[in-house]
Amino acid sequence: MTIHATRRQVIASLASVSLTGLAHAQDDYPRQSINFICAFPPGSGADILVRYWANRLKNIVPQTIVVQNKPGAMANIAAEFTARSKPDGYNILVHAGSTIAANMHIFRKPPFDVVRDLKVATTLSSLSFILVVPKNSPYKNLQELTAALKAKGDKGTYGTANTPSFVIGKLYTKGAGLRTVQVNYKTSMDFVNDLNAGHIDFAITDSVSGVVLAKQGHWRTLAVGSNERMKSLPDLATFAEGGVAGVDLLTWWGAMVPAGTPDAIVQKIHGWFEQALKEKDTADYLREQANDVMITPLVEAQTLLRKSEQEWKRLVEETGVEKI
């Protein structure tokens, strides 16, 4: 007897096979090495954190983790690469979700939509950016720096290298009534020599690299960009304590995957990081890197990304940051 399958039956059969294969792939995940995508070059503050997480999870994740550095465009290259990747959990962007959200309003034509194209698998930590001067600078606190910059007028300069440093720099100079000129660098590592040589008066940098270089004796930290002192930096005063109100910017790090990544895979990734975050040595390390542990329920993580994007829209409009 010959059996003639209808078109509907064929489609249903193919769909069943496809769904079965997808479910099997999710159950077996991960079956190959996983890439942690880093948005800045080796040696940067971002690279330090990404490599820490890759090493920290090596005994939790049953596959090799490889760090891939994809620097450029203030993290947009790495974020777009991840967003356009196959949504199978093998490319994970480990970076500041708040910064990626900010880029939606820093760039005139962002190459992707952060809320639509990326999914937050977990939050990791919160941190702020700090104002630093070279070790031989005569300025011992923010009040002294502000007074000197007012006297310099538009002859004073400062360095920035990413979206949060852009905005904190603008909030500080606007709040203090300064005419100091911003000099933008590709990465924070690029302004190290200029700052140390005194070619720029100060810089706004991430707390990770800033604290490391300060501990090594290269820089002096004068203020943190959060509205309250960070738990990880209890001795560093806020801008408000230094006489300049209105500087309040806290960024958060997370692990992000392409938006179409199946929930089962996202939950597995979330579980890996959550296991590590709950261990004391993780909190201790993050504190040393000027980060505070940030554990967010998975159901709230994407909402946080959406709120960050909306908040950055307001900040960019208020500070008048010129779009790129």
In a domain, 154, yes or no: yes
Q: In this structure, are 118 and 255 located in the same domain?
A: yes
Q: How confident is the model over 148-192, as pLDDT tens digits? A: 999 999 999 999 988 889 899 999 999 999 999 999 887 778 899
Q: In this structure, are 306 and 267 located in the same domain?
A: yes
CATH number reported for the structural domain that contains residue 220 in this entry: 3.40.190.10
In a domain, 4, yes or no: no
Q: How confident is the model over 295-321, as pLDDT tens digits? A: 999 999 999 999 999 999 998 888 887
Specify whether the CB–CB gap between 308 and 297 falls below 8 A. no
Q: In this structure, are 121 and 39 located in the same domain?
A: yes
Mark which of 224, 242, 262 sits at the end of a domain: 224
CATH number reported for the structural domain that contains residue 47 in this entry: 3.40.190.150
Q: In this structure, are 102 and 148 located in the same domain?
A: no
Q: In this structure, are 118 and 141 located in the same domain?
A: no
Least confident segment among 52-56, 124-128, 184-188, 224-228: 184-188
**Full 3-state SS string of 37-100:** EECCCCCCHHHHHHHHHHHHCCCCCCCCEEEEECCCHHHHHHHHHHHHCCCCCCEEEEEEHHHH
Q: In this structure, are 153 and 198 located in the same domain?
A: yes
In a domain, 106, yes or no: yes
Q: What is the C-alpha separation between 30 and 268, in angstroms, rounded? A: 9
Q: How confident is the model over 209-238, as pLDDT tens digits? A: 898 899 999 999 999 999 999 999 999 999
The count of domains in the chain is 2
Could you list the residue range(s) of the whole structural domain that residue 190 is in?
A: 133-224
Q: Give me the pLDDT at residue 162, please.
A: 80
Q: In this structure, are 112 and 53 located in the same domain?
A: yes
Closest CA to 247 of 135, 165, 125: 165
- 18 or 8, which is more confident: 8
Q: Give me the pLDDT at residue 283, please.
A: 94
Mark which of 189, 224, 259 sits at the end of a domain: 224
In a domain, 16, yes or no: no
The Cα angle at residue 144 between residues 138 and 150, in degrees rounded to 5 = 110
Kindly give the residue spans of alpha helices, DSSP state H, lying in the chain.
7-28, 45-56, 76-84, 97-106, 114-117, 142-152, 163-176, 192-196, 207-215, 263-277, 280-288, 298-319
Least confident segment among 4-13, 48-57, 98-107: 4-13
Q: Would you state the structure tokens that stand for residue 201, as one six-digit string?
A: 């008066």
In a domain, 22, yes or no: no
Residue 272 pLDDT > 70, yes or no?
Answer: yes
Q: Do strands 181-184 and 129-134 pair parallel, antiparallel, or not at all (unpaired)?
A: unpaired
Q: In this structure, are 83 and 146 located in the same domain?
A: no
Residue 18 pLDDT > 80, yes or no?
Answer: no
Mark which of 224, 240, 269 sits at the end of a domain: 224
In a domain, 1, yes or no: no
Q: In this structure, are 142 and 120 located in the same domain?
A: no
Q: In this structure, are 48 and 196 located in the same domain?
A: no
Average pLDDT score over residue span 250-278: 97
In a domain, 241, yes or no: no
Specify whether the CB–CB gap between 324 and 107 falls below 8 A. yes
Specify whether the CB–CB gap between 272 and 121 falls below 8 A. no
In a domain, 269, yes or no: yes
Q: In this structure, are 197 and 258 located in the same domain?
A: no
Q: In this structure, are 142 and 162 located in the same domain?
A: yes
